[in-house]
Amino acid sequence: MENNFDEILHKYLWGEDLSLEEIQLVESQLTTHPDALQAVASKLSTVAITPDISIGIDHWATTRIKKEISTTENDLYQKGFFINNTTIDQYLSGELDGELLEIFDKRLQRDESFAKEVEHHTDLLKGIAIFSERSIKDDLDQVQSELERDKFFTKPSNVRTTTDTSPPEAKVVQFSFRKVLAYAATVLLLVSAGFWFFYQNSTTSQDHFASHYYPYQDVLTEDILDELSSFGFGEVSEKDKLKELNSCMVLYNKKSFQLANSAFEKYLKKYPNDLEAKFYQSLSLIELEKYNQAIDQLYILHKTEGFKFKKEATWYLALVYLKNQQTELANQLLKIIASDKDSPFQINSQKILNK
Amino acid sequence: MTVQNISQEELLIELRKGTSKSYKELYLTTFRQVEHFIRNNNGQQEDAKDVFQDAIIGLIKMISKPEFELNAKLSTVLFSICRNIWLKKLRSRKQGKTVNVIDNDEHTFVVIAEDEIEEKNAIEDKHQMIADKLNEMSEVCQQVIRYFYYQKLPHQQIAEMMGYTTGYVRVRLHRCIEKLRKTTSNK
């Protein structure tokens, strides 16, 4: 016990990892048994007396001294005992005043190494600021890209921007009639070309969806029934789970996607880790034309290493992206699938990409 | 994507700690307004993203001050900081010409003193080096140093945030800063 305490105290003084209980143990000892402290202090001085160790002693000394003898505290101020990092911080932020500021300034003048220390401390503060801002920005970037994935930034803002609606600056320009005609023709051409392009574009991606999408076949039920039949009378909860999943799949197979979806939802609330159920739910969502929800789910499945239907999830995600006219994202995925020999959708992807 | 429901006090605590949860909440509640404002005043979404990040940093420093009082919604404060930063940018772009601001009635904002938003200092190599060293230190050191030296939170508050006692925070902080000092001193 004794040795153990010494060890903890040592860790405490050196700022190593401790549990809250251990910290409190040390501190209660420090405040209730000042004699024990004296012993520790002398022990420490024979073991390893480095200037650093003084901070631990400094800490209990300050708390004790503050409690007991305020005159000694004054004395220590005079001797510059309290000039440490904290005082340097206070000095740099302009919080020092009166007597302390005087002591500080005096020491700065006559003690060159102290002046250097203060300068280094200023550098440290700047470095710390850079580090802190960088780590905040890293975290923000991460949140931002997460939101990017959720299309937070691409969603059409429903707020009207005044630059869009404000009337253009009035200009007085005189056109010749022929010029006006020529302009009009060009504008008409551009508009119709644009329209054609847009129309073409949007129909093709939707067409791809239509021609390649089919609801994924049920490959689960067989397994479920298999597993169910292999159960004895025990393991009731597992059995219940499979039964419930089976009833979800029955609805899915009946193409009652609305009912299937809510059944899956109920099921997934109980068993949120069942990825296979999640996969079939997202297929139901596609059928219900809830594309954004489907994307959210499929994305997770597509990113899950080792998931049984990972390749399927990627393929369906690509298709939904097409349907949702997120062609860029769709193409990225299609390229991955097209170069994946093991994917059952390799050829289909190549077909879409080549069009 | 649903707006998370957390109270202002909770958000304040999370934000001081610097959790992703708090950042996300700010994006969800405030980014659209900021983007709207900046678009209305000669800016793009990319500008809004930059300004938003700088403003969150300003907000974190502001709420860490002991004298800070929560008397407006944090999203309102954040919007106001964004507004200030953007106006400052516009002014320096236009160099002396007056900047007309288009504010929308639906936005409320609080007045924030210009000097609340600190100018960014030029980054020197030695400071960069110190930041890199700090990056190699333990997670706990990084946190206490950031909380104390950057956000200037009092020991007591850091102790509460990290589940330590004040005395231990003090010792730990000293150890960490000494380590940093040693690894970065140019001897």
Q: Which residue of B has its CA nearest to A120?
A: B185
Which of A184-193, B77-86, B88-97 is predicted with the least confidence, judged by mean pLDDT?
A: A184-193
Residue ranges per structural domain of chain A: 1-68, 82-152, 174-203, 213-354
Between B92 and A42, the more confident residue is: B92
- Strand, coil or helix: what is A107? helix
Query: Residues 6 or more apart from B71 whose CB is under 8 A from it?
Result: none
Helix (H) or strand (E) holding B23: helix B20-40
Structure-derived torsion over alpha carbons of residues A299, A303, A304, A309, reported in degrees to the nearest 10: 60
% chain B with pLDDT above 70? 83
Q: Which chain A residue lies closest to B29 (C-alpha atoms)?
A: A152
**Res B107 pLDDT > 80:** no
Query: How many other CB atoms are found less than 10 A from the CB of residue B80?
Result: 20
- Give the per-residue pLDDT at B144: 94
Q: Does A66 touch chain B (CB under 8 A)?
A: no
Q: Select from B144, B146, B149 the least CA-distant residue to A137.
A: B146
Residue A288 has pLDDT above 70, yes or no: yes
Report in angstroms the alpha-carbon separations of B154 from A226, B8, B35, B146, B159.
63, 21, 34, 12, 9
Q: Which CATH number fits domain A213-354: 1.25.40.10, 2.40.30.30, 2.102.10.10, 3.30.450.20?
A: 1.25.40.10
* Residue A354, pLDDT above cutoff 90: no
CA distances from B106 to A159, A246, B28, B33, B34 (A): 11, 52, 17, 9, 12
Supply the pLDDT for residue A254. 78
Q: For position B160, what pLDDT does the model report?
A: 92
- pLDDT > 70: percent of chain A: 66
pLDDT of residue A161: 43
Residue B106 pLDDT more than 70?
A: no
Scanning chain A, the segments in alpha helix (DSSP H) are 2-13, 20-32, 34-47, 54-68, 70-79, 85-92, 98-110, 112-149, 162-165, 177-212, 221-229, 236-253, 257-270, 275-287, 291-303, 310-323, 327-338, 346-354
The domain spans of chain B are 8-116, 125-184
Q: Mean of the pLDDT values across residues A51-71?
A: 54
Q: What is the pLDDT of residue A167?
A: 37
- Distance of alpha carbon A118 from alpha carbon A124, whole angstroms: 10
Please determine, for residue A152, whether its predicted confidence score (pLDDT) is greater than 90: no
The answer to whether A135 contacts B142, with C-beta atoms less than 8 Å apart, is yes
Average pLDDT, chain B: 84
Closest Cβ opposite residue A163 in set B40, B127, B134: B40
pLDDT at residue A184, as a whole number: 59
Residue A290: left (phi > 0), alpha (psi -120 to 50), or beta? beta
Question: Which residues in chain B have their CB less than 8 angstroms from residue A20's CB?
Answer: 163-165
Lowest mean pLDDT among A5-14, A112-121, A140-149, B127-136: A5-14
- State the average pLDDT over residues B182-187: 76
Mutant choice from A121, A130, A157, A162 vs B, greatest count of B C-beta within 10 A:
A130
Query: Contacts of residue B121 in chain A, CB cutoff 8 Å?
Result: 126, 129
- Nearest CB among A132, A137, A150 relative to B146 is that of A132
The answer to whether B82 and B31 have CB atoms below 8 angstroms apart is no
Q: What was the pLDDT predicted at A193?
A: 57
Gyration radius (Cα) of chain B, Å: 19
Q: Measured between CA atoms, how close is B152 to chain A, in angstroms?
A: 10
pLDDT digits (tens, 9 = 90+) for A62-108: 555 455 444 444 555 555 555 566 677 778 777 777 777 777 787 78
- Contact at CB, A157 and B167, closer than 8 angstroms: no
CA dist., res. A79 & res. A103, Å (int)? 9
- Residue range A235-244, pLDDT digits in tens: 567 777 888 8
Condensed to tens digits (0 to 9), the pLDDT of residues A15-43 reads 778 888 888 887 777 667 666 666 666 55
- The average pLDDT across B169-177 equals 85
Alpha carbons B136 and B138: distance in angstroms, whole number: 7
Residues of B with Cβ-Cβ distance to A130 under 8 angstroms = 123, 127-128, 130-131
pLDDT of residue A165: 38
- CATH pick for B8-116 out of 3.40.50.300, 3.40.50.280, 1.10.150.120, 1.10.1740.10: 1.10.1740.10
Instruction: Give the position of tokens 């190549």.
Output: A350
Whether residue B149 and residue A130 make contact (CB cut-off 8 A), yes or no, is no
Q: How many CA atoms lie within 13 A of B62 on its CB side?
A: 21
Q: Sort out which chain A residues have CB atoms less than 8 A from B59's CB and list them.
A: none
Does A128 sit within 8 Å of B149, measured CB to CB? yes
Q: Write down the ipTM of this complex.
A: 0.86
Which tops the pLDDT comparison, A202 or A174? A202
Q: Which amino acid is at A191?
A: V
First to last CA, chain B: 53
Residues 6 or more apart in contact with residue B137 via CB below 8 angstroms: B145, B176, B179, B180
Two domains, one topology: B8-116 and B125-184: no
Distance from the A127 Cα atom to the nearest Cα atom in chain B, whole angstroms: 4
CB contact A116 to B (< 8 Å): no
Question: Is the CATH number of domain B125-184 1.10.10.10?
Answer: yes
Residues in chain A with CB shorter than 8 Å from the CB of B147 are: none
Q: How far apart are CA B133 and CA B121, in angstroms?
A: 20
